């Protein structure tokens, strides 16, 4: 059943209909590895918990059965990379 709740559509720099490539998946896995590699420190557990939530969200979006999800993989990868970078600045 379609939702009646309006939502903003995502914009990507990717071309609709483009298939996810091995390079896209490799880049995503590399960013996930970076996200889960938390440097030791007093906030280590909190940082790891936040990053795990971001990784879960990214994987949920990439693995979504929505046919548009295939060309969202690079966009989701960049979003995850941005979350990691933002957390490092704090």
Structural domain count of the chain? 1
Rounded to the nearest angstrom, the gap between the alpha carbon of residue 16 and the centroid of all alpha carbons in its chain is: 18
SS3 of 84, please?
Answer: helix
- Output DSSP code: residue 8: P
Instruction: Report the pLDDT value the prediction gives residue 45, as an integer from 0 to 100.
Output: 86
Q: What is the pLDDT of residues 8-47, one digit of tens each?
A: 444 444 444 467 789 999 999 999 999 999 877 768 888 8
Residue 66 is assigned to a structural domain of this protein = yes
In a domain, 52, yes or no: yes
The range of the structural domain enclosing residue 60 comes to: 22-89
User: Is 35 within the bounds of a domain?
Assistant: yes
**Does residue 11 form part of some domain?**
no
Give the global pTM: 0.69
Residue 2 lies in a domain: no
Question: Does any domain span residue 57?
Answer: yes
pLDDT tens string 60-78: 988 876 666 555 888 899 9
Structural domain contains residue 3: no
Percent of residues in the chain assigned helix, strand, coil, to nearest 5: 65, 0, 35
The DSSP result for 8-77, as a single string, is PPP--SSPTTPPPPHHHHHHHHHHHHHHH-PPPSTTHHHHHHHHHHHHHHHHHHHS-S-GGGGGGHHHHH
């Amino acid at each position: 059943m379609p939702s009646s709740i309006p939502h903003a559509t995502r914009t990507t720099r990717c071309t609709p209909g483009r298939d996810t490539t091995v390079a896209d998946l490799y880049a995503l896995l590399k960013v996930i590895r970076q996200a889960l590699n938390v440097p030791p420190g007093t906030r280590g557990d909190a940082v790891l918990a936040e990053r795990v939530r971001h990784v879960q969200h990214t994987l949920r979006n990439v693995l979504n059965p929505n046919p548009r999800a295939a060309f969202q993989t690079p966009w989701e990868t960049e979003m995850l990379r941005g979350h990691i970078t933002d957390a490092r600045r704090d």
